[in-house]
């Protein structure tokens, strides 16, 4: 099942959730429940924000606007942001840039927290 990451408002992790290997070891018991958890996280972002955050984290070619930072910090939260990023990283396409993507993910989060403070 393609989770479409409920981000019809969510291109951010739509790409990453289809055809992914396995959930991280600290994930809830079943892949299905973990998928539902991630879909719930992603559903908290509108389509523009999910796209901006996705490209900022995985490609580093966009800046997250203030309204999207608000959604990320107050609606999604740090744990969901981190879990969605790690899950997308299980895709072969992104494995070679793992460290760089994790740094960008942390930077996006920190920049958004600074904006929202």
Phi and psi angles of residue 46, each rounded to the nearest 5 degrees, phi first:
-80, 170
Q: What is the mean pLDDT of each run of 10 residues along the chain (117 residues)?
A: 30 40 46 87 94 95 95 97 93 84 97 92
CA separation for the pair 108, 49 (Å, rounded): 12
Q: What pLDDT shows up at residue 32?
A: 80
Number of other CB atoms surrounding residue 60 within 10 Å: 15
How many domains are contained in the chain?
1
- The residue segments making up the domain with residue 30 are 4-116
Residue linked to tokens 């990451």: 5
pLDDT for 60 equals: 93
Is the model's pTM score more than 0.85?
Answer: no
Q: Find, among 113, 112, 90, 114, the residue nearest to 102 by Cα.
A: 90
Residues 6+ apart with CB under 8 A from 70: 116
């Amino acid at each position: 099942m393609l989770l479409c990451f409920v981000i019809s408002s969510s291109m951010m992790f739509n790409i990453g959730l289809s055809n992914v290997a396995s959930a991280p070891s600290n994930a809830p018991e079943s892949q299905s429940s973990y998928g539902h958890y991630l879909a719930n996280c992603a559903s908290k972002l509108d389509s523009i924000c999910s796209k901006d955050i996705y490209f900022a984290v995985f490609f580093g070619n966009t800046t997250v606007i203030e309204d999207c930072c608000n959604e990320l910090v107050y609606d999604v939260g740090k744990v969901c942001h981190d879990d969605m990023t790690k899950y997308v990283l299980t895709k072969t396409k992104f494995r070679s840039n793992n460290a760089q993507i994790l740094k960008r993910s942390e930077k996006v989060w920190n920049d958004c927290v600074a904006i929202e403070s």
